[in-house]
Amino acid sequence: MVKFHCTTCNKKLGVDEKHAGRTVKCPKCGTKMTVPQPETETVGALGTGISGVNPGVDPYDIQETTKPCKFCGKEISEEAKVCGHCKKDQSAPLVEEEVVEEKPGFWKRLLKK
């Protein structure tokens, strides 16, 4: 089993090793990504399988920092380039909407017609 996270919404995913290198779609946000190659185990001095720097610690249980989407405000991964909720590009500039001030009596005049 190959475990990895979605690059957009950070959903924890796991697929069979035979799918390594293939493109899959995140079931939560729909982002397409390539399944990483499975990590290979190395044999240590005592002949035990060791994978990673810190055996016994699941790297997928580490809490990732998040930030609010600058468009919809939902929490997204700090590295996310596209919001998994509103699908907006986080590198796009915010466009300020022009505020139009209503003159007194505007609605009264409009509703009389």
> How does pLDDT run across 66-108, given as a tens digit for each residue?
888 888 889 888 888 898 889 989 888 877 665 566 666 666 6
| DSSP code per residue over 27-94 | TTT--EEEPPPPPPPEE-TTS-EE-SSSTT--GGGSPPPEEE-TTT--EEETT-SB-TTT--BTTSPP
Instruction: Indicate left, alpha or beta for 105 from its phi (over 0: left) and psi (-120 to 50: alpha).
Output: left
> Residue 33 has which token pair?
């990504």
Which of the four pLDDT bands, split at 50, 70 and 90, describes residue 111? confident
pTM over 0.75: no
